Chain A
Amino acid sequence: MKNNNWLKWSAYAVAGLIVAGCATYPDQATTKQMAEKMVFEGFTYSAEHKSRLVQDRSQQICSKIGDEKLTQAEAAEVVKLARASIKFPASGKLVGDWKTGDKLAHNGAGDRIRNGKEESRKENGALCQNCHALAPGEINVGNVGPPLTGYGKQRGNSEAIAKYTYEKIYNAWMYFPCSNMPRLGATEHLTPEQITHVVAFLIDPQSPINK
């Protein structure tokens, strides 16, 4: 009861402030409206590149502000969308060539835009090195994600591991909704074929990651 009264009085107080024109933080809906406008007025872009600014449903859910938590229903939706996004390569083979994968994993380029033009490359890099430790002894590696050193040595190269690894790279949010790892296949940064090469780099016993 007491609580209720308090709520009522503070509601009056807030209303009073607004009537008096006192400056205060805007509510969530207003903030969103203003900020979204800033996004679309803050960049120069072609029709094609506009999609980089538009959030898909998962990105909307995964943009929680501050300490706000994902609800269970939201997490479940992100996982469901992720599962539905997975495409396997035409060949059906999930494990490609580790040497190609090695190069891709160490390549941080691709898809960046300057003066309206995308950097011209034969293909995009896979960006793994930016965030993960790879083969033992490599120094120039990031730590935004956990080390992948010894990945295949620890987990083996069974079909189940190949599938998990492929899906994880294709859409990381299938196993960890809204994690900091990009959904590299689902956003089309990488092709299914490229991902099979990176899978090989992670799980092939010959790969330097497992030496």
Chain B
Amino acid sequence: MEKMRSIGLALGAVALFAMAAPAMSQGNDLSVGRKMLVEDNPGDLWIDIGKELFYQKRGPKKASLEQCDFGLGAGKLEGAAARMPRYFADTDRVEDLESRLLTCMTRLQGFDRKGLVKQAISRPRSKGSDIEALALYITSRSNGMKVNVTLSHQKEYDMYKAGEYLFYRRSGQTDFGCVQCHGEPDKRIRLQDLINMTSKAGAQEVASTWPAYRGAHYVVRTMQWRLNDCVWQMRLPDLEYGTDYSIALTTFLNHRGNDAVMQVPGFKR
């Protein structure tokens, strides 16, 4: 309770700050406003929430997530997220951090998958979802380390290539694939800067800054949320959380973003 109240207060302060932000970014260099905000990233608040959720005994099976293997052994979090997506033998599939969380929260803690998926992406201005906080906490344990998504299992190679294919695949009312908005430097949709993800630097920015605090929503957002939002702009139907479509794209982008230094939560508009 005490905790929630302090978050509420902090969020109030952020709201004020965010209102001032557009004025700040009127100058030539939009990134100045961004950098100033990063120094005091409100997303940090969710790291502790995620940590508590991680060690608490929860769910029908009253278990913590300490037995969950994120690729480096049960409960070993140091550097684990920097190596995801990766192949997991126990599910025989490539999983990104969020789909791995779904696996462990259903198998170890006994949560219902449907329920988790339904709540995975929180409402703007809410206190966020469990998965958002957990994903941030776990990823923060890779801060300062290099992204290192290796391809060694056949299914990892397959995922990478599928992700590449999907990045260029155009369909729907607007003929969009990802590359139409993320394939050239210095492009904008209205005033929103588009990262060129076909460049190493662009892929590195993506691979090292999610989950991120989203100023416009006052919550921490994950990669699956971001893909969800882009797909919505592309006029495609509803992206299903944790399916191979987004895992493939994430594998493609993160592998190409190798050697970037992890720093989460990122701060996004």
Contact = CB atoms under 8 A, between A and B. Distances in A.
Nearest to B166: A35
B162 A187 contact: no
B244 A42 contact: yes
B188 A127 contact: no
A35 B152 CA distance: 19
Interface in B69-106: none
Given A45-B238, A143-B187, A23 B175 contact: no
Interface string A172-211: 0000000010110001110000000000000000000000
Contact of B171 (A25, A35, A42, A59): A59
A69 interface: no
A142 B233 CA distance: 15
Contacts of B157: 23-26
A113 B237 contact: yes
A43 B239 contact: yes
Interface of B: 151-154, 156-158, 160-162, 164-166, 168-177, 180-181, 186-191, 194, 198, 231-233, 235-240, 243-246, 248
Interface of A: 23-26, 30-32, 34-35, 38-39, 41-46, 49-50, 52-55, 59, 62-66, 108, 111-116, 127, 129-131, 139-144, 180, 182-183, 187-189
Most buried by A among B154, B174, B181, B187: B174
Nearest to B235: A111
Contacts of A55: 169-171
Given A42-B244, A66-B164, A52 B235 contact: yes
Contacts of A129: 190
Contacts of B243: 38, 41-42
Nearest to B156: A23
A205 B216 CA distance: 39
A130 B190 contact: yes
Given A41-B243, A143-B188, A26 B174 contact: no
B91 to A, nearest CB: 16
A39 B190 contact: no
Given A53-B171, A113-B235, 10 more contacts: A25-B160, A31-B164, A39-B245, A41-B240, A42-B245, A43-B240, A45-B237, A63-B169, A143-B186, A144-B181
